[in-house]
Structure 1
Amino acid sequence: MSLPPVLPAAQCRYDAVALGEVMLRLDPGATRIRAARSFDVWEGGGEYNVARALSRTFGHRTAVLTALVDNEVGRLLESLIMAGGVDPSWIRWRDFDGTGTATRNALNFTERGFGVRGALGVSDRGHSAASQLGPADFDLEELFGVRGVRWLHTGGIFAGLSASASACAGAAMERARAAGAVVSVDLNFRPSLFRGDGGAERARATFHGLAGGADVLVGGFQDFADRLGVHAPDAAAPEAERFAAVAELLMERYPRLRVVASTVRRATSASVNDWGARAYARGGGYAESRVFRDLAIFDRVGGGDGFVAGFAHAVLDGGDLQTALEYGAAHGALAMTTPGDGSMASLAEVRSLAADAGHGESR
């Protein structure tokens, strides 16, 4: 089996860079959005969360490619990004028009859920600065060709914001691969981004482009079927066999793919889940992580991003597929035990939890 090769750290300015929208998350805590009188604030975003965890938990050098409006909310987001250990120097700042009519910073109101009440997100992101990004907004040659990046992460949330954001993701992935960086893509799908006439066709085109540019593709059976049109040949086969079959079909369709990975979540309630992960590497390597049975969930948002960060860390650190899965599953589990999108786990905690699965640490 074959994991993607990783550039030496000494040759690169950054270990990982995330391309995506960073939103201000407003968290009502234990109550509901409709009943809240105060909110905690965090920064978050499906792509950014990976870079933050790689920096704060795993000690890697990371940056975020995004855009913000230059007002007090944008500067609050910048300070939160800096506190997360992520280099903000690649943020593209947009002028504030006084009302946010032309461009604005994105907000995300998020309930954690509890018991029979599921988590709930209410996004307020229309005309956001990040949605207006395009291929010409970043000096990709300077970033990947001169400074050097070992890993680029992006995904379906950012690419789904607009046609220009999708083009921006495509250009960044192409330049990153040409420079030798590993490219990971999370097929996160938000129906709200694809409503209206032509939405289904735009979603298929967007996700096809993402899959075609990825080395590591993260998603589930529904993502592969609904967005990429790839179905398991035998629907009655065991899940492991179906996953391996789908991964092989994806690799036939997208020749650049090296790894297909998926988190596995079975929810008893919003507060109790079984949690694990599986992956298939080109050349026939299938692996499953330890399954965390009846995992107590404090805040499920960011669990999948936590998996990607742990997986990427292990690969960057020279680990094999099994080790990457154990680190990803362990870190994702820990990320869901604390509030907010961002991980509060320590590397020692991740190592300990991953080692409990009976597999060696990455070296």
Structure 2
Amino acid sequence: LKPGDIDWEYIFGTLGVRWMHTGGIFAALSETAAETVIEAVKVAKKYGTIVSYDLNYRPSLWKAIGGEKKAQEVNREIAKYVDVMIGNEEDFTACLGLEIEGNEENLKELDLSGYKSMIKTALKEFPNFQVIATTLRTVKTATVNSWGAICYSEGVIHEAEHREDLEIMDRVGGGDSFASGLIYGFLEFNDGAKAVEYGAAHGALAMTTPGDTTMATLSEVEKIIGGGSARVDR
């Protein structure tokens, strides 16, 4: 894709699309992909469409078009137009040049004060961020992870229920499932505390079932949020 290929004016202006989600993996695919994202978010902002962006740093993708320097150049430009920024500690450091203090490199333990400090730093630099969200994953083994999430919204940091020793079947897609659950929570309830719970529960279900794409239903997500187990209902 390149700028001009998609009629963003029609999508955001005429159709009135409420929310646009994209991220760093798409932006890194080529020089023109990065330019297309920038074109899209500018028009979305013009019409008041909410923009969410998952930084999702992948060094192997950015390597072909300029590496970490290019990643920061592109992502810092896109960030000016983002309302809901999603990413983990590596993403915020590599893509936006923000540092997190307090988290050890191998992340056996997560220090939430480091994330909270990072959120404050991000808001100083990008006051347009209405929401900042990140998943909290501690990798114990390939098949056992602890999983949670935090979300800054309206001056408050909300923390989802932390799920210790989650048995992972397929961890690919956990971040995307978190993002879609978070987005659903904001569109449906406009509530950061609820949104982060939907995101974390949906991500957990996606990683404990086969495949990259979620097969979870809304009722299954809500059952997990309500304190139910992941046991199959028959």
TM-score normalised by structure 2 residue count: 0.89
* CA-based RMSD: 1.9
Equivalent AA in structure 2 for residue 231 of structure 1: E
Residue in 1 that maps onto 2:192 = 321
CA apart distance, 1:196? 5.7
CA apart distance, 1:148? 1.2
Structure (1 or 2) with the larger CA radius of gyration: 1
SS at 1:340 equivalent: coil
Equivalent AA in structure 2 for residue 296 of structure 1: E
Alignment of 1:230-241 (within 5 A): 230-232=98-100, 235=102, 239-241=111-113
SS at 1:158 equivalent: helix
Alignment of 1:1-363 (within 5 A): 133-195=1-63, 198-232=66-100, 235=102, 239-282=111-154, 284-356=155-227
Distance 1:353 1:287 in 2: 18
Contact 1:156 1:210 in 2 (8 A): no
Distance 2:185 2:153 in 1: 15
Poorly superposed stretches of 4+, deviation over 6 Å: none
CA apart distance, 1:142? 0.7
SS at 1:183 equivalent: strand
Equivalent AA in structure 1 for residue 140 of structure 2: T
CA apart distance, 1:197? 8.2
CA apart distance, 1:179? 1.2
Deviations 1:212-252 (A, max 9, x none): 221011111222122211124x538x822221221121111
SS at 2:114 equivalent: helix
Of structures 1 and 2, the one with the larger relative CO (CA 8 A, separation 6+) is 1
- Stretches of structure 1 that go unaligned for 5 or more consecutive residues are 1-132, 358-363
Identity %, equivalent residues: 42
Deviations 1:87-140 (A, max 9, x none): xxxxxxxxxxxxxxxxxxxxxxxxxxxxxxxxxxxxxxxxxxxxxx11200011
SS at 1:137 equivalent: coil
More helix by share: 2
- Stretches of structure 2 that go unaligned for 5 or more consecutive residues are 104-109, 229-234
Check 1:196–1:305 CA distance in 2 against 1; reply closer, same or farther (3 A cut).
closer
TM-score normalised by structure 1 residue count: 0.59
Contact 1:155 1:210 in 2 (8 A): no
SS at 1:180 equivalent: coil
Contact 1:218 1:261 in 2 (8 A): yes
Equivalent AA in structure 2 for residue 276 of structure 1: G
Deviations 1:269-316 (A, max 9, x none): 11111011011124x201110011111111111001000011100100
